[in-house]
Homo-oligomer: A and B are copies of this chain.
Amino acid sequence: MAEEERERLGISPEVRDCIEATSDCYTACAETLNYSLHQVGGIPDLRHLRLLIDCSEACQTTESGMLRASELGVMLAAICVEACEKVAESCRQLDPSDEQLAMCAEVCDHTADCCRRLAV
């Protein structure tokens, strides 16, 4: 779809970035949830698991809203910022040396940045 066509549908480049970021972030959080449930021999950190579910759902709903230029876009972006910030912090706190958690935190940082631009 040509750029002007996207614009006509209300999808600006900033929104497009946000769509890609939330899509990736959904995948990262869902994957990290599975990873965190499998932590060998340990009792999983419940708040961490809950935040990962929160964030994956917030990203899914936000991506979907952005794709149809929803009137709720700004509110959805604001929830995404909140969810992503919490997950990034939780990942770094739990184990700063864990590769999967570090990757997840990074994806969340990027998504929060993209959504913050729209949430203002």
Give residues of chain A (39-54) contacting chain B, Cβ–Cβ below 8 Å.
Answer: 41-44, 46, 49-51, 53-54
CB <8 Å contact, A82 and B86:
no
Q: Which size class do A's interface residues fall under? A: 35 or more
Contact A46 B37, CB 8 Å, known A5-B100, A75-B82, A86-B71? yes
Additional pairs, 17, CB under 8 Å, beyond known A2-B99, A23-B27, A37-B50: A1-B100, A1-B103, A5-B100, A9-B34, A11-B31, A19-B27, A30-B67, A31-B67, A41-B43, A42-B43, A43-B44, A54-B70, A60-B60, A61-B61, A71-B86, A75-B78, A76-B79
Residue numbers of A with Cβ under 8 A of B are 1-2, 5, 9, 11, 19, 23, 26-27, 30-31, 33-35, 37-38, 41-44, 46, 49-51, 53-54, 57-58, 60-61, 63-65, 67-72, 75-76, 78-79, 82-83, 86, 99-100, 103
